Amino acid sequence: MSNVDFARAYSLNMEIREDRFDPTMLQLARHVSTEGNCARRYVGAVIVRNGEVISTGANGVAPEFSNCIEAGCPRCVSGGSLGIGYDLCICIHAEQKAVTNAARDGISVEGGTMYVNLRPCLNCLVVAHNAGIKRLFYEEGWSYPPDIEKVYQGLSSAFEVFGQRSECVPGAPPPRV
């Protein structure tokens, strides 16, 4: 069963409200993350539109490799720090994978909501925004050095809703980070 099939079965008969945080979708993102093969961290992303899970993605390299170390990822082999060195990484990020999986299947993510178990990097934020994602929720936070963080915050304000799970009040839209 594919992650999207699993997600659809998981969310069957559930009301998915895209205008507020849905803890079930974040739980699903954590489940999807277990499909990743990055040796450093498991990250999963779920995209919901019109109350339906339309795509999922987990981070890692092509499935013919057991993990990114075996595939020779320079960043993962050297133990790069969170938030830097992505230009050396050969892993696809979960957010990118969810967007590209939808594109491959001919599904638009325009107007969708993305759930990720880790705050997206700047490049993934750009991809999500340009793909038309309107709302983005994440679980685990981290931040860039102040000069880059300022750019990140500027881009995150372009989303209708952007927030960390701990900031989300049940039944209400979260504040902007």
Q: How far apart are CA 130 and CA 143, in angstroms?
A: 21
Q: Which residue among 15, 64, 70, 95 is the active-site one?
A: 95
Which string of b and e fits 83-114 if b means at least 16 CB within 10 Å?
beeeeebebbbbbbbbbebbeeeebebeebbb
Active site residue 95: yes
- Give the strand pairing for 135-140 and 113-118: parallel
Query: Position 94: which residue type?
Result: A
Q: How far apart are CA 148 and CA 145, in angstroms?
A: 6
Strand partners, 58: 44
Q: Which residues contact 85 (CB under 8 A, 6 or more apart)?
A: 75, 78
3-state DSSP assignment of residue 143: coil
Q: How far apart are CA 16 and CA 141, in angstroms?
A: 24
Active site residues: 95
